[in-house]
Amino acid sequence: MSLLLSSTFLTFSLFTLSLYSADTTKIINHTQVTKEQDCFRDEFSDYDLWIEHTRQKFERAYDTETIVNKATSLFKAQHSREMFEIYQKQLECRTFIYDVDGVPVEGYVIKPKNVTQPLPVVIYNRGGNGNFGAVRFTSMFKTLFPLAEQGFVIFGSQYRGTLNENTELRYGFQGAFSNQHKDEFGGKDIQDVTRLIDFIPSIIGADPKRIGLFGWSRGGMQNYLVLRQLDNVKVVVTVAGNTDLLSGLTLRPNMERVYKKRIPNYNKDKIGTLESRSAIKWVEKLPQDVSILLMHGSADKRVDVSQSIEFAKKLKLHGISHKLVIYEHDDHSLTKNRAQANKEVVTWFQKHL
């Protein structure tokens, strides 16, 4: 019995050590930011460990070894050892917990190492809702590391409600997760993004005078809801952005289940709650001095390309500087043109930020 307890204690100790023994140098020196941890930790500390971890997920998802091997080979082709080692060597990446009116929220920050001058900050607004679409290591690798490598500080929120029971226990927030802390899909979760602005002066190597927004899918909605509240954001990039939630239900009627679950008072005021989250309904309330890049795949089956096309027309009508890029036959993730899309994003921020 005592041997079993000792073994359990040792396992727990090693687990705890793995969580906190990574590089402990803080990137954000603010009392409301805690639990900073290196993104390159545990199974992400080494390329081979990452690939093996991914392969194990494929083994749980697929029935045959042939499919697993094919999926693993494709993953390795899209996430090369060379780029992993470059990012690990050149970038600092931390996850952390921060407080928003008593609600613990997960966030992340990515920046080049050995910064010699203040760098512009890009706040990334993710897509999805709740735990679905949370920014994990692989999505950082594909979307955020390439931007950070080019000389930007990437700052983002997972939004309230992404904390699950395991995460709460891991961070010591037992009982913190409750109904009032759930993702509201454009409600109180917007505060989770605007709160990040307060921390930018505390980020080592960040320039608080140069701030941009970068959002994908639902993150596009977040972009404009945040933009309405701030006067110090001059650059926005939106990919596959949802700017008209009501019309979007025509393409994806099952999204109404998400809205009913996430949006307060949805059943009482469906039109009002959706329009308040749809930027195409209030373009005139956006700042006039902002530069907006819109990118969309013409074959997007989640958010129809017409949303970006119609939004671009409204931006033109109101004299807001913008550029619309449509990738023919591409999907919601711009799978066929990801490298080119990344370059487009970098160029836009370099030009306007």
* pLDDT given at position 171: 46
Q: Which two tokens stand for residue 243?
A: 């700017």
Burial of 123 (0-12, 13-18, 19+ CB in 10 A): buried
The tokens describing 191, both together, are 């505060």
The whole-angstrom separation of Cα 181 and Cα 189 is 9
* Segments in the chain below pLDDT 50: 1-23, 165-177
Q: So what's the pLDDT on residue 166?
A: 47
Query: Which one-letter amino acid corresponds to residue 337?
Result: N
> With 0-12 CB in 10 A as exposed, 13-18 as middle and 19+ as buried, what is 338?
middle
Helix or strand run (H / E) with residue 80:
none
Q: What is d(CA 70, CA 170) in angstroms, rounded to the nearest whole number?
A: 34
Do residues 157 and 105 touch, judged by C-beta distance below 8 A?
A: yes
Secondary structure (3-state) at 292: strand
Supply the pLDDT for residue 17.
Answer: 36
Q: What is the spatial distance between Cα 27 and Cα 286, in angstroms, rounded to a whole number? A: 32
Pairing of strands 291-297, 206-216: unpaired
Q: What tokens appear for 239 in the block?
A: 């990919």
Which superfamily does 27-38+92-352 belong to?
Alpha/Beta hydrolase fold, catalytic domain (3.40.50.1820)
Residues with Cβ within 8 Å of 304's Cβ and at least 6 positions away in sequence, in order, are 248, 251
| 3-state DSSP assignment of residue 51 | helix
Task: Please name the residue ranges forming H helices in the chain.
Answer: 2-20, 47-61, 65-78, 81-90, 137-139, 145-149, 165-171, 189-199, 218-227, 245-251, 255-262, 270-275, 306-317, 338-352
**Number of C-beta neighbours around residue 165 at 10 A:** 10
- DSSP codes joined into one string, 135-178: --HHHIIIIIHHHHHTT-EEEEE--TT---HHHHHHHT-TT---
Buried b (16+ CB within 10 A) or exposed e, 286-308: beeebbbbbbbbeebebbbbebb
